[in-house]
Homo-oligomer: A and B are copies of this chain.
């Protein structure tokens, strides 16, 4: 490149590294940049971050559960919002890594900020990330972790909304689907607990219904449905609701007359079912707001960690309840 620009190698390095210690004339700078462009030179992010002491990389570990369309859209919007603030968003596949190991792998990439969905990051993990240069650690999950900013996604409210709605509709024996997938426990346990909270002090009861996401399990549950004597079910989310509702209908169980069904997530498929599925609409934080929180945290690493409740839940009443 020095040859193409007609300058010394040192000059090329000074210009491309934007060194201010050495005075270089504007025409020379321009010549070097033109030569770089002509030769298809791409700066080295790693080298630049070593020089700068930090990168513009925001690391988002991929959640270890299969995320639904709702979360995929949210992550896409967040990536977009962060890239508009000049961050490079990188998703890291933590698949198969245990927590400690995962945190060290994230730290090796020297991100300036880490956004951790789900639970599992401990105080120790936050410390490792900060020591290796992360200026901001933000968790998106059910609880606060010391030293990290927290976007609290409390799923109790989802269950409470569903429970209150079913009570208001006159239901008293309420089943709650709990997916068999242990990875979903951080969502399903608080949703179940939320239904219990809504029913406290009433004569209504809660029955826990473990269910795998396949037709056979749904058919088995439907076959013993009448013996359970339930008049309503909160089916965890719309996909489980579709699965269970189909099995109940195939058993000849009237919906909503015999059993009211409520899902969650407000997916389009719920509107396509007959009867149309009642659901809990979940309000996620705005991607732009979250991106700005990350940016603020990066620019003021010494500020005390913020915690914010971000999950809204409202029932969309359709025909199934």
Contacts and interface: CB of A to CB of B under 8 A. Distances in A.
Interface string A56-79: 000000100011010011001001
Contact of A110 (B46, B83, B243): B46
Interface residues of A, number: 52
Given A91-B90, A96-B83, A97-B83, A268 B215 contact: yes
Given A46-B46, A93-B76, A215 B110 contact: no
How many copies of this chain does one complex carry? 2
Contacts of A89: 92-93
A110 B66 contact: no
Contacts of A69: 66
A62 B88 contact: no
Contacts of A27: none
Contacts of A110: 44-46
Given A66-B69, A92-B90, A108 B44 contact: yes
Contact of A92 (B47, B91, B131): B91
Contacts of A43: 108
